[in-house]
Amino acid sequence: MSAFTPGPASQPHEPAIHLLNLIRHFPGRGGVATKALDGVSLAVQPGEIFGIVGRSGAGKSTLIRCVNLLERPTSGEVRVLGEDLLLLSDRALRERRRRIGMVFQHFNLLSSRTVAGNVAFPLEIAGVPQAEREARVQEVLGLVGLSQKADAYPAQLSGGQKQRVGIARALAPNPSILLCDEATSALDPETTHDILGLIRQLRDKLDLTVLLITHEMAVVKEICDRVAVMEAGKVLEEGRVFDVFTRPTHPTTRSFIAGTIGHSVPRGTVARLPAARPGEEKRLLQVLFAGPNSTRAVISEASRRFGIDLDIISGRIDEIAGEPFGLMALAAYGPSAKLDEATAWFEELGLTVTPLAEVN
């Protein structure tokens, strides 16, 4: 059977990757198990770039390794392209894995093989005849812009070029799913940008479904359509990237986002702000707004309605996937109850209010 046999046609609207209540426990020291995955359910739609973000130890790698069963879940269902992988024979699973390419943080290239030799490797294992293999290697090296480097060895390549080889190798068997575990974490920001651009371009050209793991919200913001935020083996929240950035619901997500797009105000600036009047409170707030709301009007309206003072410390406009959103740092003065009411009113209008971060 050829390595390029198309998979069974998925049902319309069936997710490309559907994880149901995945649990993965590792035996720990002293008999206390590590719950690397503690009941994760996710559905990734065909053609999506879906990000999973979380701190070290959140369970991201365990999760992505469950998608091709490099890691077997303790319980749960792993449905890929319409099939429950856990029900397949070893032989069938080997064949299905060719539809799932994987890219690694440290590239995992074979140093004794040339670029072409590395890319050919999965095709050799799949038993693809030499002529077909060579043509395919040329083709995928072209896709990642490395045709000129076919005869180079990994040691002669930059980090970005090595990752291009990693991507070409993953794509060689013509998969419909690409898994990326921290694929840009070993790269500088400019090379990260190039590689993310390449992944998006390949998704568009080859109709790939991409599941991408990162600990950086900046990566999610740049490339993902949807995102899930993980902590301690659980998904805290998920949604369209724009929605999760502009309306985060979990404190962990808020802190991730604050580090990426959030305002921070120098301590000196904060120290120079007037003190609250007796019986009143001073709060430093970040207001994040999406869509057409004119915040200036909203802010003066809030002052009038609630009898509070709102000073704009700074403001700026940013963009996610072409959609603009605004960020404003405010100092709010007034009775606590009125500040609470104003915050609730902002939230009702679709603005997101978080405490403002101070920096040195």
Ligand X SMILES: Nc1ncnc2c1ncn2[C@@H]1O[C@H](COP(=O)(O)OP(=O)(O)OP(=O)(O)O)[C@@H](O)[C@H]1O
Contact residues toward Mg ion (CB under 5 A) are: 61
N-term to C-term CA, the chain: 62
Q: Does 34 bind ligand X (CB under 6 A)?
A: yes
* CA separation for the pair 80, 92 (Å, rounded): 13
* CA separation for the pair 12, 131 (Å, rounded): 36
* CA separation for the pair 165, 110 (Å, rounded): 11
Q: Does 33 bind ligand X (CB under 6 A)?
A: no
Q: Does 69 bind ligand X (CB under 6 A)?
A: no
* CA separation for the pair 185, 187 (Å, rounded): 6
Q: Does 56 bind ligand X (CB under 6 A)?
A: yes
Give the number of residues in contact with ligand X, rule: CB under 6 A. Answer: 12
DSSP secondary structure letter of residue 6: P
Minimum CB–partner distance for residue 166 and ligand X (Å): 17
In this complex, which beta carbon is closest to Mg ion, that of residue 61 or of residue 161? 61
* CA separation for the pair 59, 52 (Å, rounded): 10
Minimum CB–partner distance for residue 247 and ligand X (Å): 24
Selected binder of ligand X within 42, 62, 184, 256 (CB under 6 A): 62
> One symbol per residue from 161 to 200: x for binding ligand X (CB under 6 A), - otherwise; what is it?
----------------------------------------
Closest CA to 7 of 95, 88, 69: 95
Q: Considering CB distances under 5 to 8 angstroms, the limit depending on partner class, which of Mg ion, ligand X, none binds residue 57?
A: ligand X
The HSE-up count of residue 324 (CA atoms within 13 Å, CB side) is 7
Stretch that binds ligand X, among 5-13, 52-60, 121-129, 142-150 (CB under 6 A): 52-60
Q: Are 62 and 235 in contact (CB under 8 A)?
A: no
Q: Considering CB distances under 5 to 8 angstroms, the limit depending on partner class, which of Mg ion, ligand X, none binds residue 54?
A: ligand X
Q: Which residues bind ligand X (CB under 6 A)?
A: 26, 34, 36, 54, 56-62, 215
